[in-house]
Amino acid sequence: MDIAVLMAAVAAAIAAVEFKKLPHAILAFAVMSILVAAAFYVAGARLLAVFQLAIYAGAVSILMLAALHAGEERGE
């Protein structure tokens, strides 16, 4: 299971870079962050998994979505 989670995280990271539409890339980044947190949890680093979820999958993804929304309102 460890290898499967890590391979899925790598695939999501590649998808986040390759997607042309920004909302799809942000979603792929959030999925990648969740999968990295799952890998940390399986490896026994439970506290690190919680911080990975809280900071990267949560805060950074929401910040990216907020910036995207603010840019659309201004017409950029």
Q: Running DSSP on this structure, what letter comes out for residue 75?
A: T
Contact 59, 47 (CB under 8 A): no
Residue 9: pLDDT band (50, 70, 90) is: very high
Q: What's the longest Cα–Cα distance across the chain?
A: 46
- Secondary structure class of 68 (helix, strand, coil): helix
**CA 27 to CA 65: how far, in whole Å?**
9
Name the architecture of domain 2-74: Up-down Bundle (1.20)
Residues 11-57: pLDDT tens digits?
999 999 999 888 888 889 889 999 999 999 999 999 999 999 888 87
* Domain spans, the chain: 2-74
| Residue count (the chain) | 76
- At residue 7, the pLDDT reads 94
Instruction: Look up the pTM and report it.
Output: 0.81
